Structure 1
C-alpha cells in the first residue's frame, strides 16, 4: 500500500490542477480560453465532431497555443495517434487506455467507484470523475453532488479531477484541488 500511495503522490504533484476540455460548442473560444488559463494547465482535445485531416489541423492549431502558454495537451484517441500527433497523453474510458504506454499521461473517465477502481488497477495517472453538478451535456441527468463526489474521490486510489458543471465558483464551493470544464472555462 505504501508503494501505491507513493506513486499516487508523485503523479499528483506533476498533474495540472485545471483542465479545459474541447468540444464543438466551445471551439470558437478555445484560443482565448487557453491564453487565460494559468500557465501549466491542461487541454483535453476531444473534437469528436471533426474527422481526419480537419481534426488533426485543429489539434495542431490548439497545441501551438497551448504550448505557448506552457499547457499539457491530451488527446482523446489512441496512444498511437497521440504519439503521431505530438500529444502529451491520452483520454478515454479506462479499458481504452490499456495497455499502458510509457511517456504518455493516461486520463480515464469515471462515473462510479467501479470505474475509478478499474482506472487505478490499469495504471491511469488520474481519473475525471463526473458529473459532479448538472451539465448542458446531459440535461436532467443524474449527478454525483458534492458529498458523493468527495466520498468517491477520497477512496479512488489515484488522483481525481472533478468534471461536470464545473466553474471557478463551483470548484471553490466543492473545495477540490483539480477540476475540468467545457463551458465553465470557455
Structure 2
C-alpha cells in the first residue's frame, strides 16, 4: 500500500507509476483544490498498472470517480459496514492505532500504525508501536492487516520473515 502525503510525496503519480501490480494507492487529498483531477490521474495509472485506488476519508469522491474503495480514519471506521452495503464491490480499509480499534469495525482490512518512527505529518506526536505490539494488534484484528509508519523495504522484509505480519505498507518511497 502506498499512502500519499502532500508534503513527502508531492508527485504521487510518479510513485504510482512504479508500483508493482496488485499494490494499492491510498490517495489522501486533505481538501486539496485539485483533488478530483489528481484522483482521476491516479485511477488511470491504477488501471494501466493493475493497482487498486482507495480514496482516503472521502467516499463521495471515491464514488464520483469510480475508485476501487475507500480508506477510513480510525474515527470513521464505524462507517465501513454501511459503505460495504451501499457499495458491495468496494474495498474498505480503516486505520487502527489501538487494540480497541483493531478489533472493531467491518472493514476488509485494517492499517495499523504507527509501527516505527516516521516523519509523516500524520504520524506526528504518535509513539511507535514496534514489532511486538504490532503482532498483538494484528492478532486482535482477526482480518488482513497492514503495517504503516516508518516501514521501509528492509523493515517490511524483517516483519514478514519473522512471521509478525503478512502484509506491509511501505513508507518513505522515493521518486
Could you say whether these structures have the same fold, taking a TM-score greater than 0.5 normalized by the shorter chain as the test?
A: yes
Q: 10, 14, 39: which one pairs with 1:32?
A: 14
Give 1:46's aligned residue: 28
- How far apart in 1 are the matches of 2:136 and 2:83? 27
Q: Is the 8 A contact 2:96 2:102 kept in 1?
A: yes
Q: Is the 8 A contact 2:153 2:170 kept in 1?
A: no
Size of the aligned set, in residue pairs, is: 163
- How far apart in 2 are the matches of 1:135 and 1:79? 27
Where do residues 63-82 of structure 1 align in structure 2 (5 Å cutoff)? Answer: 63-82=43-62
Give 1:159's aligned residue: 144
Cα separation, partners in 2 of 1:168 and 1:30, compared to 1, 3 Å:
same
- How far apart in 2 are the matches of 1:58 and 1:144? 32
- How far apart in 1 are the matches of 2:97 and 2:89? 26
Q: Secondary structure at the match of 1:66?
A: helix
Where do residues 1-186 of structure 1 align in structure 2 (5 Å cutoff)? Answer: 19-51=1-33, 54-92=34-72, 93=74, 94-101=77-84, 102-119=88-105, 123-137=106-120, 138-139=123-124, 141-175=126-160, 176-184=165-173, 186=175
* Gap regions ≥5 residues in structure 2: none
User: Alignment RMSD, CA only?
Assistant: 1.8
* Gap regions ≥5 residues in structure 1: 1-18
Q: Secondary structure at the match of 1:180?
A: coil
Q: Deviations over 1:104-131 (max 9, x none)?
A: 1110000111001112xxx210000001
- How far apart in 1 are the matches of 2:139 and 2:24? 22
Cα separation, partners in 2 of 1:50 and 1:128, compared to 1, 3 Å:
same
| TM-score (normalizing by structure 2) | 0.84
Q: Deviations over 1:34-60 (max 9, x none)?
A: 222211111001021503xx1101111
Q: Deviations over 1:60-114 (max 9, x none)?
A: 1121112110100001134343211211011113124341321111100001110
- How far apart in 1 are the matches of 2:60 and 2:9? 24
| TM-score (normalizing by structure 1) | 0.79
